[in-house]
Each structure stands twice: as C-alpha cells, then as structure tokens.
Structure 1
Amino acid sequence: MSTILAIDTATEACSVALLYCNEITYDFKISARDHTKQILPMIDNLLKQSDCSLSQVDAIAFGAGPGSFTGVRIGIGVAQGLALGIDKPMIGVSTLMTLAQGVYRTRQITNVIPAIDARMNEVYLGQYQYIDNLWQAIIPECVIAPEKVIDKVQDIRNDSYSAGTGWQTYPDMLENIHTSDILLPHAQDLIVIADKKWQKDEWVSVENAEPTYLRNEVTWQKLPGR
C-alpha cells in the first residue's frame, strides 16, 4: 500500500493531496501570488490531519506543467526539497493530464481535450482518452495559437469534453465540444495518476526530476551540483 504526497502549483491554484492508508485527503486554494507562502503550511496541516509523518511517504508527486513558469518552478522546487530531505523518489505528472482526470472524476468522461491559457495569445493543449484504466495521449502536449487548435486535435467525438482555462479564454476554439466545469488542476486528481505511475515504477530520482516547459525560450536548471 503506497503513501504518496502530491503538490501542484502550476497554475493560480495551489493544492496538495496525500494518499495514506488507501485514502486520499487534500487541500485546495486559489492564491495566484501566494504559492510560496501557502504550500508548506498546507502540506504540514495535511500530514497532521492524517496522522502521517513525512518520513512515511514513499514518493513525492508534483505537477510538472505545462503552466505558469513561476508556479511550475515553485512546485518542483518544493517537491525536490522534500524528497531530498527524506531520500525518496519523485513522480512528475502532466498538468493537462491532471485536468483530464478531474473531468473523469466528476463526469466519468473518457475523452478530454484540456487547454490552459498560456498568455501571449496561445494555449497549452493536450488530448487524452481513458483506455484500460490509463490516460493515453492522442496528441503530444504543445503550445499553440487558438485558431490552430482545430487543425491539431484528432478524433473529435460527440463525447469530447473540454477542461482548463484555455477554453474559458478562447471558447470558440472548437465546435461541438462539451464544456466541463474543471478549470484548474487539483492535487486529488494528480495523486490518482501518480499512484498508477508508482505501481508501474515510473518514478525518477530527485536529480532527474524535470518540469515541462513547452516554450523554447524557457530553460530549466536542475539542483546545483547535480
């Protein structure tokens, strides 16, 4: 039975979740500019609430992006610090896939096209189908202009649902797509994906954990000396 702590700060939402004794507990706040102040107290409170110590955690999961550069950087930085302190591995989870999982949790929808407002008149886009209890990427994650989305997505079915702030900002990217109420990623969805990855040994060491930045001008440096 795995114990996983999940952290997501990739967007204006700040959330944490804990899988412990086969139960998921979580906390969620919208605090676009206070992630650094909010995240550690949220983690501490969640662990205390569940009567679980950090040393009991098997792995630290984090929202890998795409999303806000600062938000993604905060999330992976906190996750690396915690994982390094307890000498445990890390599990990166796509922010777009986390949105898809949110739609599945609330509506049992298996065909989701998440999009996050990437600013600069672009969106971060993905397309996923839930097959054999796992999310399969139909198209790779990308950053794209809203007017080009219609040429990018594949197999737009009658049961396709949207997710994410990209659809709120650009509601006319596609016709005949159902609208979900999932706009922001939530750690309670991230941790479900992370647990499946953990069971398949899809984890990385602290020094190999990397975020997903889809814009070419954005670079990432690993921990100093690693």
Structure 2
Amino acid sequence: MKVLAIESSAVTASVAIMTEDTLIAEYTINYKKTHSQTLLPMIDEICRMTETDVSDIDIVAVSDGPGSFTGLRIGAATGKGIALAKDKPMVAVPTLEAMAYNLMGDKRLICPVMDARRQHLYSGLYRFDAEKLEIIHEQCLISYQELVDILNAQDEEVVFVGDGIDVAGDYIKDNLKCRYSFSKPHIKTQRASSVALAAIYMAQEGKTINSDLMKPDYLRPSQAEREHNK
C-alpha cells in the first residue's frame, strides 16, 4: 500500500510518500508561506525525486482537522483533486491523532496541543498499546484551565506535542501538578509521515472514503460564521 499524505492544518506544510514499511520521501516546511504556494510544488518535487507516478499511489491521506480553516481547506482541496483525477480512495486523518503518531511507541500519556487562540487549544489525549492508538479523550476545543484540570485528574506522566506548547507552555508549567515534558523540535510540529502512518492503520480497518466525502473537521464555526450568527 503506497500512501500520499498531506498535512496543512497549521503553519507547517508537509507531504510524504510512505508504504507499510518504508518512508519513501517527506518534505516539510515550517515557515510563513501560504499552503497554496507550497503544497503542489512539494508534491511534484517528492514524486520527481522518487520517480513516483501519482497513478501508482493507492491512497491519498489528508490531515482533516482541527486547525487553520484556510490551511485545512487547501489541504482537502489538494488531496481531493489528486484523488478525483486518479480515481483513488482517501483517508481523512484527525489531525491530533496524526500528531500522536509522532510519538508512537512512547508509553506516556500523549497530549497533542494546537493553538486555537483566546486561551484555548485544540487537544485530545492518547496512549499507545504496542502499535494500537487508544483514544483517552476525543479531540476537542478546550481552554487551558480545562485541559490542565483533566490532566491533573488523570495524575500520570504526560508528554505534549504541537505548537500549542509555544503559547500555553508557561500556563502548563505554572498549573500542571503531574509529571510532564514537551516534545523536542524534530517531532513537535505536524508531519505528513505521521498522517501517512495513521492512514495506513485506518485503511487496514476499512476507513477509506470517496473523494467527494472528504471535508475538514473544524470543531468550531469559522469567524465569518460566528459573525453572521450574531
């Protein structure tokens, strides 16, 4: 099974080609460029460098949220365009689950955190039992205080991953009572290889979809929708 994976849920843009046992290529940029500028050239580059014809891809996997509304839309549109053109199935990978795969094999409680602004995070809680990802707390929009309260109640060692560390790190340090650590830079941000790995496991469980069913999971209305509903 050969997977083309796309990650564009935050500032990081990342694409990867992976099989069950080999990461063939991964291209990641964590810089202030729009995903509309980067994703297709990045996909073209890894396909060219690995002599991969997109027609040889079996599954197109996309990180489907939560995250940046614009980034998620661009990633979904890019993946859908490729899948539709080549008649390939897709896997919609929850972003926070994919981030947990950055730490596959870690025995601690895994807490991905993404900045959702206004003292809120997108977060969830996960644990690995061998290669199986267990969901302890479904991904959600949550305040700093609510997350800390949940973790203090869990009372076990936790490792954080994600850009939410940058904005909520001081609050966590001041209020979390259990043992914790923050992921190092090489695994802190979103990675397409983790999206691909999660997608392989999901595909093995039959969790593929047609491209017309692919849509981002924002977890909350956009600012425009919130303004409209006032």
SS in 1 for 2:183: coil
SS in 1 for 2:180: coil
**1:72 Cα deviation after fit:** 0.8
CA contact (8 A) 1:103 1:109 kept: no
Q: Which residue of 2 aligns with 1:179?
A: 182
**1:109 Cα deviation after fit:** 4.3
Give per-residue Cα distances to partners, 1:3-47, cap 9 Å, x unaligned: 110001111000000015842111001133321111111101111
The separation in 1 between residues aligned to 2:162 and 2:194, in whole angstroms, is: 14
**1:146 Cα deviation after fit:** 0.8
Give per-residue Cα distances to partners, 1:180-221, cap 9 Å, x unaligned: 12331000111111111112211111111121111145799x
The separation in 1 between residues aligned to 2:150 and 2:182, in whole angstroms, is: 19
Instruction: Say which structure is richer in helix.
Output: 2
CA contact (8 A) 1:90 1:206 kept: yes
**1:150 Cα deviation after fit:** 2.2
TM-score with structure 2 setting the length: 0.87
Q: Which runs of 5+ in 1 are unaligned?
A: 221-226
TM-score with structure 1 setting the length: 0.88
Aligned pairs for 1:99-178 (under 5 A) are 99-104=99-104, 108-153=106-151, 155-158=154-157, 160-171=158-169, 172-173=171-172, 174-175=176-177, 176-178=179-181
1:208 aligns with 2:220: no
Question: What RMSD, in angstroms, separates the aligned Cα atoms of the two structures?
Answer: 2.0
The separation in 2 between residues aligned to 1:197 and 1:4, in whole angstroms, is: 12
Percent of pairs identical after alignment? 27
1:31 aligns with 2:31: yes
Instruction: List 4+ stretches of structure 1 deviating above 3 A.
Output: 216-220
**1:120 Cα deviation after fit:** 2.4
The separation in 1 between residues aligned to 2:131 and 2:224, in whole angstroms, is: 34
CA contact (8 A) 1:129 1:135 kept: yes
Q: One-letter code of the match for 1:7?
A: I
**1:48 Cα deviation after fit:** 1.5
Aligned pairs for 1:180-199 (under 5 A) are 180-181=183-184, 182-199=187-204
Q: Which residue of 1 aligns with 2:228?
A: none
Q: One-letter code of the match for 2:210?
A: S
Shift in CA distance, 46/70, structure 1 to aligned 2, threshold 3 Å: same
Report the count of equivalent residues: 216
Q: Which residue of 1 aligns with 2:6?
A: 7
